[in-house]
Amino acid sequence: MASRVVVTGVGIVSGVCTGGAAAIGPVLESGRSAVGRVTAFPTDGLPSHLAAELPPGALAALVEPAEARRLSRVSQMTLAACRLAVDDANLGDLSDAHLIVGTEFGDLRSTEEFAAGYLRRGAGGLSPLAFPNTVMNTMAAASAIALGLHGSSVTVNARRVAGELAVGRGAALIAGGRATAVLAGGVDELSPLMFAVLARLAAISPRGGGEEGCRPFDRDASGPVRGEGATFLVLESLEAAAARGARALGEIRGAAWRSGARAAAIPPALEAAGLAPGDIGWIYGSAAGDPAQDAAALRSIRRVFGDAGPATTSLAPVAGEHAGLGAFGVAAATWTARAGRLPGIASLRRPRPAAREVAAGPGVHRVPVGPGLVHGVCRGGDDVALIVAPMGDAA
Amino acid sequence: MTRVVVTGLGAVSPFGAGVKAFWEGLASARCAIEPLTLIETEGFRARIAAAVPAAAVDRLAASRRRSRADRFGLAAAAEAVEDAGLSRAELAGTALVVGAVGGGMLEAEAWYWARARGHGGPDGGAGLATVLPCAHADVIGRRLGLGGPRETVVMACSSGAAALAMAADLIESGAAPRAVAGGVDTITRVCYMGFNALRLLDPEPCRPFDRDRRGMTIGEGAAFLVLESYADARARGARIYAELAGHAMTTDAYHVTAPDPEGSGMIAAIRGALDRARLTPAAVDYANAHGTGTPQNDRIEARALARVFGEGRLLVSSNKSQIGHTMAAAGGLEAAATVLTLTQGVVPATVNLTSVDPEVPFDCVPRVPRAAPVHAAISNSFGFGGQNVTLAFTR
């Protein structure tokens, strides 16, 4: 009954890189970061000025001109990343495939434009074509149409962990025999309204008078820095992938998600994978520089692994916090599982005492080739754990 | 395979708070559609809706500081949990899947409108803190002490039904023994204006399946069901309303706002749910239709039903004729209505139906509810983006 779940394709559209699985290793080895001063809209008068933006023109190379005219920007990102993943997996027919899109803010930009049309010009200012974009499933709908995908297309909304959750649900669909191929990932874009509101609410760096920047596990952490982009994975059952001779980048051995103040998803994910805590060699965590969130993530990890757990990193300083980052972490984990290389946290200077034993500092670290953990946490809310292993490890 | 049964029901509907009010309204063939006063309607074609009555909203237990949608969701979920008689320990392992679209948009709009008109704070404060669809799940999960997997699914007007299907998946896969699942939505300016701009609203109360129908009427509310594995329900001596015997989700991948004219996605969803339930079409007595009252939907849905069930025999009715289209809540409310149809042996009517469209070859239970033994029934929910969900319930 239970099928093994393999990753056969990756599509990344982010500030730091765009491409398939082959793009991951070089960018993580390089230590590059897309965090910089926002250029797409003015941030004058706001306390925050940093974000990890997509480079100008990045999307133009990835979507057809007709799609660029018709689709909102965040839908273009989603479609572009899905296409890259499908190409990377060399997957032809998507008619039976399923799509799971994780997002935190959806198409907020279109929603604001739609409302603004009314406030400017009354009922006559409303764009009927823009209305569907106000519903968060618009990215999934646009992508399913463009890809000819007729399985379910699901949009999951969550704070901080939507990408991890989407991949986890996709893996569960395959493991439970409900699907043989799933495109799963996450997407968010920076919008001027969202950025301004988060900045004014001090939900992003700099918070508490600190210096602006993304510093997970650091004593000088001052809040997260937002990013944008989309990362999608092609997940397939091992049998389906083998039958079509697909290359497998890695395996999702277990996935679990739990909620609430005492949420603990790592133990059930390990159990599903048939592994013990000592089998886990490294962790991609969701720490993004929010001290309370990072502390909650550390507590969740330490409850399972003790004080001296596996080396733990975060991609938030690389590509900024957005729902695509959770799926980016899973994609990066397939590389780490194979290569035994873990990119450290380049911004880490003064680790918090609780993180000193585990937080991976600047540089690329040697870690065991073998299974690791991708872990997403939203304090008081969701805890998501995915066990990622190289192929062959589970045989 | 794990059987999934319904052991609790909760509702907030345009008939008021509670399942009792909901069923009494349905069984008495009332129509809750009235002039819309919740938001500005000047300059729009349709100025009616099925809102939750103000007196019922005032009596909801949750704090008035919460968003209207959070209050609906919390009340319905709390009723379902109480109805199922779950202990605190049982709730700690219970999953929560919420179908949502608007989130706290109504309150966020109030802030945005005020700001655009020159009076209102710059930061949005509380109005924006609860705007995301996932805010409902955070509130419900925390207040009811639900610690299992937590998900928010956004699938436009099929969100509530999708939540039930996804919760059943969680139970079938063993991720949780039981789940609280359903949908919640409120009337918002954005959805009211958008459906108006698309000219999908009937200026008169909607008339699903009528030859002269001119569109839908929007509504609002919330409904949650407690789903449980049959073994767990039996073990704790729970009252079992019905079995959620099958469910399926498909995507048209045809057009963002228009259904595939051939209804192939709908047909695949209906057949998928029947297959999973091991039901033949002949075993199904009743279809609780999506039945929005738009010319397109009702014609194509009727064609899809005829393709699967043949013309004639099946009873078909639309709750939307009484409570309007409650959007993300619709799948939840209509699932609750379908379950009650099975247990009460009464099929709710399609009110406002005077001359059945000749393209609808079914007994649509016009105006008067029908006493009839119903052993198996389906509930259809379709949404923008061509998102089709069918649930199959049996006694």
Provide the pLDDT for residue B125: 60
Chain B partners of A105 at a C-beta cutoff of 8 Å? 132
Give the pLDDT confidence of B122-132 residue by residue, as tens digits: 566 656 778 99
Average predicted confidence (pLDDT) for chain A: 95
- CB proximity list for B246: less than 8 A, separation 6 or greater: B272, B273, B274, B275, B276, B277, B278, B279, B390, B391, B392
For chain B, what is the total number of helices (H) and then of strands (E)? 14, 16
Whether A202 shows a pLDDT value over 50: the answer reads yes
What superfamily in CATH does domain B4-235 come from?
Answer: Thiolase/Chalcone synthase (3.40.47.10)
What stretch(es) of chain B map to CATH 3.40.47.10? 4-235, 246-394
Whether B57 shows a pLDDT value over 90: the answer reads yes
Nearest-by-CA chain A residue for B131: A105
Whether A393 shows a pLDDT value over 80: the answer reads no
| Side chain identity at residue B327, one-letter code | M
B100 versus B117: which is more confidently predicted?
B100
Confidence of residue B62 (pLDDT cuts 50, 70, 90): confident
CA distance B162 to chain A (A): 8
Instruction: List the one residue out of A174, A152, A169, A11 whose CA is nearest residue A90.
Output: A11
Across the range B251-273, mean pLDDT stands at 94
Percent of chain A with pLDDT over 90: 92
CATH class belonging to B246-394: alpha beta
Give catalytic residues of B, as residue numbers. 157, 290, 325
Provide the pLDDT for residue B120: 66
Q: B231: buried, middle or exposed (CB in 10 Å: 19+, 13-18, 0-12)? A: exposed
Average predicted confidence (pLDDT) for chain B: 96
A111 touches chain B (CB under 8 A): yes
Confidence of residue B212 (pLDDT cuts 50, 70, 90): very high
Residues 198-217 of A with CB under 8 A from B: 200-201
CA angle A153, A158, A164 (to 5 degrees): 70
Nearest-by-CA chain B residue for A99: B251
A203 φ, ψ to 5°? -85, -10
Chain B partners of A257 at a C-beta cutoff of 8 Å? 149-151
Confidence of residue A157 (pLDDT cuts 50, 70, 90): very high
Provide the pLDDT for residue A68: 94
CA distance A364 to chain B (A): 34
Percent of chain A with pLDDT over 70: 99
Residues A19/A31, Cβ–Cβ less than 8 Å? no
Instruction: Give the closest of B124, B193, B255 to A126, CB-based.
Output: B193
Chain B partners of A155 at a C-beta cutoff of 8 Å? 153-155
Chain A partners of B113 at a C-beta cutoff of 8 Å? 119
A264 touches chain B (CB under 8 A): no
Concatenated DSSP letters of B165-229: HHHHHHHHTTS-SEEEEEEEE---HHHHHHHHHTT-B-SSSP-TTBTT---B-BB-EEEEEEEEE
Q: Record the tokens describing residue A193, joined without a space.
A: 């309204």
CA distances from A56 to A16, A23, A48, A61, A73 (A): 12, 19, 20, 10, 12
Whether A372 shows a pLDDT value over 80: the answer reads yes
| Side chain identity at residue B288, one-letter code | N
Across the range B313-321, mean pLDDT stands at 98
Chain B partners of A256 at a C-beta cutoff of 8 Å? 149, 175
Nearest-by-CA chain A residue for B276: A178
Chain A partners of B129 at a C-beta cutoff of 8 Å? 201
Across the range A30-52, mean pLDDT stands at 97
CA distance A346 to chain B (A): 31
Q: Which of these ranges, A181-185, B62-66, B367-371, B377-381, has the smallest mean pLDDT?
A: B62-66
A131 touches chain B (CB under 8 A): yes
Confidence of residue A395 (pLDDT cuts 50, 70, 90): very low
Task: Identify each DSSP E strand in chain A by its residue range.
Answer: 5-14, 18-19, 35-37, 50-52, 98-103, 153-157, 181-188, 229-237, 250-259, 282-285, 311-314, 341-343, 364-366, 372-377, 382-389
Provide the pLDDT for residue A2: 80
Please list, residue by residue across A55-83, b when 16 or more beta carbons sit within 10 angstroms of its beta carbon and e when fewer do: eeebbeebbeeebeeebbbbbbbbbbbbb
B30 φ, ψ to 5°? -75, 155
Across the range A294-317, mean pLDDT stands at 95
A356 touches chain B (CB under 8 A): no
Provide the pLDDT for residue B117: 84
Confidence of residue A12 (pLDDT cuts 50, 70, 90): very high
Across the range B296-309, mean pLDDT stands at 98
Cβ–Cβ gap B149/A380 under 8 Å: no
Instruction: List the one residue out of A339, A389, A187, A367 whose CA is nearest residue A281.
Output: A367
Other residues' Cβ atoms within 10 Å of the Cβ of residue A198: 22
**How far is the C-alpha of A336 from the C-alpha of A281, rounded, in Å?**
10
Residue of A5, A79, A154 for testing the chain B interface, max B β-carbons within 10 Å:
A154
Give the pLDDT confidence of B267-290 residue by residue, as tens digits: 999 999 999 999 999 999 999 999
Whether A388 shows a pLDDT value over 50: the answer reads yes
Whether B121 shows a pLDDT value over 80: the answer reads no
What's the gap between Cα B171 and its chain centre? 20
Cβ–Cβ gap B132/A132 under 8 Å: no
Percent of chain B with pLDDT over 90: 91
Residues B164/B331, Cβ–Cβ less than 8 Å? yes
Whether B98 shows a pLDDT value over 50: the answer reads yes
Cβ–Cβ gap B142/A105 under 8 Å: no
A5-389 has which CATH code?
3.40.47.10
- CB proximity list for A110: less than 8 A, separation 6 or greater: A72, A74, A130, A133, A134, A138
Confidence of residue A380 (pLDDT cuts 50, 70, 90): confident
Provide the pLDDT for residue B122: 59
| A-B contacts at Cβ under 8 angstroms | 189
Chain B partners of A102 at a C-beta cutoff of 8 Å? none
Whether B45 shows a pLDDT value over 70: the answer reads yes
Provide the pLDDT for residue A255: 98
Instruction: Give the closest of A123, A147, A260 to B147, CB-based.
Output: A260
H/E element, B293: none
CA distance A155 to chain B (A): 5
Whether A394 shows a pLDDT value over 50: the answer reads no
CA distance A289 to chain B (A): 20
Provide the pLDDT for residue A1: 47
SS3 string, A8-50, reads EEEEEEECCCEECHHHHHHHHHHCCCCEEECCCCCCCCCCCCE
